[in-house]
Chain A
Amino acid sequence: MPGPATASSASAFTGTGLACRRGERLVFAGLSFAVPAGGVLVLTGPNGSGKSSLLRLMAGLALPEAGTLAWDGVALDEDPAAHRARLHFIGHHDALKPVLSAAETLGFWAGMHGAGDVPIEAALARFRLLPLASWPCRLLSAGQRRRLALARLLASPAALWLLDEPATGLDSDAVGDLAAAIAAHRATGGRVVLSTHTPVPLDGAATLSMADYAAALRP
């Protein structure tokens, strides 16, 4: 390899010249980003500036109007299945079933994601949900539901975490748990992209201000 700069750009999750359209409306255009291994990118911007849309593009839930997304130099559309296997996407919804217990929910998602017999207790403990493991989800509070959704991140390994407003409804202790989980994930070379209005303490986070690219917000 010629130099460190080339090496780091090769091992990064990148987007180049991205544009996103929702219906008739162009949400943003000309957006580029790079998340190196161990890196974290925080999306900021007012409501409607396209933070969720960008995260959905990154997850492969929607296709960009223009531009390309690549993982370590390989375009995502060459192998969407491989991309799905290496990512966790936590959207606005918690994806919990009222009649399943917290442990069953976590076990299901870990199994669907391809994890073997991972001890989900560790994931529950990280978000202080262990005492609630056998509770049906309908009895959980909004913050507890959010913590259970976030525990999915730890129940099965994935290189890329895409988090849409992960701190919504969390108390300050839980925000600390989330920050600790992200730090541990980065320490093993994991990459994180999150959008947030609540400050989450993250060391050395790169910030992407969506307002700079938002097409609709320009006068």
Chain B
Amino acid sequence: MNAFRRLVQRDLRLALRQGGDAAMVVAFFVLTVVLFPLGVGPEPELLSRIAPGILWVTALLAALLSLERLFQADYEDGSLEALSLMPLPLEAQVLAKCLAHWLVTGLPLALAAPVLGLLLQLDAAGYPVLVLGLLLGTPSLSLIGAVGAALSLGARRGGVLLSLLVLPLYIPVLIFGVLAVEQTIAGLAARPHLLLLGALLAAALPLAPVAAAAALRQALE
């Protein structure tokens, strides 16, 4: 457990000192969302209708942006090889790295989303569910993304490959995340969709680290 904490701590420290990654993800999120009113026109009605979709799709792309670096730097400088020889199982290490990744990307995204919701004239009823949905959904994005990042490790143009691998797998998270907000605004229950987001997370938590660790071992051989 101590080793798990140390790995999370190290990744957080790296992310915060290098500064770039975490800030870049949120900046990308903000800038892309700001593009939509400029692109589709400032009609409040239209914006309000497509706001949940814009926020979720953009959050998903922002999370994807930072995934390529999840294992790449450690792979290149030999840290990953050294880590794979540590007593802490590689599966637990993947989980630790996902946790750190979520803390510097998913969490800031979820917190920034309501502010951007204002910009898009999101209906007031949608805010709590938007944040709750992002809090439940973004950890799944980190976990599923870790599998893609591990699989595309060492491949040329890994970033493009990563998007192709991971985006289709993000579709369920996107659908239930958007539906939860839209249903709430329409006066229906968001609970089933939030539960489904929770179920996706509950499935990704044990499965993704196992799959990612297997892919990492393959890359290291």
Q: Which residues of A contact B (CB under 8 A)?
A: 59-62, 81, 84-85, 87, 89, 91-97, 99-100, 104, 108-109, 111-114
| B80: nearest chain-A partner, CB-CB | A95
How would you classify the secondary structure of chain A's contact residues: helix, strand, loop or mixed?
Answer: loop
Q: Which residues of A contact B89 (CB under 8 A)?
A: 81
Q: Which bucket holds chain B's interface residue count?
A: 20 to 34
Contact B78 A92 (CB under 8 A): yes
Say whether B43 faces chain A, with CB atoms less than 8 Å apart: no
Q: Which residues of B contact A (CB under 8 A)?
A: 2-3, 6-7, 10, 13-14, 17-18, 73, 77-79, 81-89, 220-221
Contact A100 B14 (CB under 8 A): yes
Contact B78 A84 (CB under 8 A): no
Other A-B contacts than A62-B221, A91-B81, A108-B6, 19 sampled, CB-CB below 8 A, are A81-B87, A81-B89, A84-B85, A84-B86, A93-B78, A93-B81, A94-B78, A95-B78, A95-B81, A96-B77, A97-B10, A100-B13, A100-B14, A100-B17, A109-B82, A111-B2, A112-B6, A112-B7, A112-B83
A-B contacts, 24 listed (Cβ < 8 Å):
A59-B85, A61-B84, A61-B85, A62-B221, A81-B87, A92-B78, A93-B77, A93-B81, A94-B78, A95-B79, A96-B77, A97-B14, A97-B73, A97-B79, A99-B13, A99-B14, A99-B17, A99-B18, A100-B10, A104-B13, A112-B3, A112-B7, A112-B83, A112-B88
Q: Which residues of A contact B7 (CB under 8 A)?
A: 112
